[in-house]
């Protein structure tokens, strides 16, 4: 009879620790997949087994221990992901929208004069202050080598007209 309790205790502890580990692993994997579901099932199994084999007092202790372990480990995991070594690695994506918006901020080019590097019919390349840029004319044909000026900017679209 004593061996049976030791076996269930080991199983309860293994389910509890394995469940917490899988839930923490899920934090670092995209989506809600197999580790998260398996971790929740193992945590539930540890709580149910403790209620069945040890009564309501031990069951409640295991329930609160599972909640506390998950809360503490998820807190440290998320902190590590946002401020620790993981945040500096390639595992965590940075906000690409901000950097893309900064790259496409061409409003300083408005009114600049340059030279058409290709024939613009209506799209092509032009050079402004030594920088090659994709441009479009506002519908008209512009010869290669013609002087152009930026007349309007619509997001990443730069519209030019001949001088």
Mean pLDDT of 20-27: 82
Task: Fill in the DSSP letter of residue 93.
Answer: P
Is residue 155 packed enough to be buried (19+ CB in 10 Å), middle (13-18) or exposed (0-12)? Answer: exposed
Backbone angles phi, psi at 138, to 5 degrees: -85, 45
In whole angstroms, what is the distance from residue 15 CA to residue 33 CA?
18
Mean pLDDT of 54-81: 82
- pLDDT for residue 66: 84
Which residues, including other chains, have CB under 8 Å from residue 110's CB and lie 6 or more apart? 150, 152, 153
Mean pLDDT of 18-31: 80
Is residue 126 packed enough to be buried (19+ CB in 10 Å), middle (13-18) or exposed (0-12)? Answer: buried
- pLDDT for residue 88: 55
More confidently predicted of 155 and 117: 117
- Block residue for tokens 């090659």: 132
How many other C-beta atoms can be found within 10 angstroms of the C-beta atom of residue 110? 12
Query: By the 8 A CB rule, do 98 and 105 touch?
Result: no
Nearest to 112 by CA among 92, 90, 131, 87: 131
Instruction: Decide if pLDDT at 26 tops 70.
Output: yes
Mean pLDDT of 58-65: 85
DSSP H stretches of helix in 32-138: 34-83, 96-103
- pLDDT for residue 103: 54
More confidently predicted of 27 and 131: 131
In whole angstroms, what is the distance from residue 23 CA to residue 56 CA?
25
Q: Per residue in 27-36, pLDDT tens? A: 777 666 788 8
Distances (CA, A) of 124 to 35, 121, 151: 50, 7, 15
- pLDDT for residue 136: 92
- pLDDT for residue 86: 56
What residues form DSSP beta bridges with 154? Answer: 157
In whole angstroms, what is the distance from residue 144 CA to residue 135 CA?
13
Q: Per residue in 78-121, pLDDT tens? A: 777 677 665 555 455 555 554 444 555 677 788 899 999 999 98
């Amino acid at each position: 009879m004593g061996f049976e309790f030791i076996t269930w205790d080991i199983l309860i502890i293994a389910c509890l620790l394995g469940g917490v580990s899988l839930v923490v692993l899920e934090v670092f994997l995209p989506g809600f997949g197999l580790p998260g579901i398996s971790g929740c099932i193992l945590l539930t199994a540890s709580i149910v087994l403790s209620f069945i084999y040890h009564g309501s007092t031990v069951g409640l202790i295991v329930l609160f221990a599972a909640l506390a372990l998950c809360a503490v480990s998820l807190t440290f995991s998320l902190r590590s992901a946002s401020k620790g070594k993981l945040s500096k690695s390639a595992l965590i994506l940075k906000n690409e929208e901000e950097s893309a918006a900064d790259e496409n901020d061409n409003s300083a080019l408005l009114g600049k004069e340059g030279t058409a590097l290709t024939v613009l019919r209506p799209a092509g390349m032009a050079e402004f202050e030594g920088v090659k840029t994709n441009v479009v004319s506002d519908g008209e044909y512009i010869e290669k080598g013609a002087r152009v000026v930026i007349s309007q900017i619509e997001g990443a679209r730069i519209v030019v007209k001949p001088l």
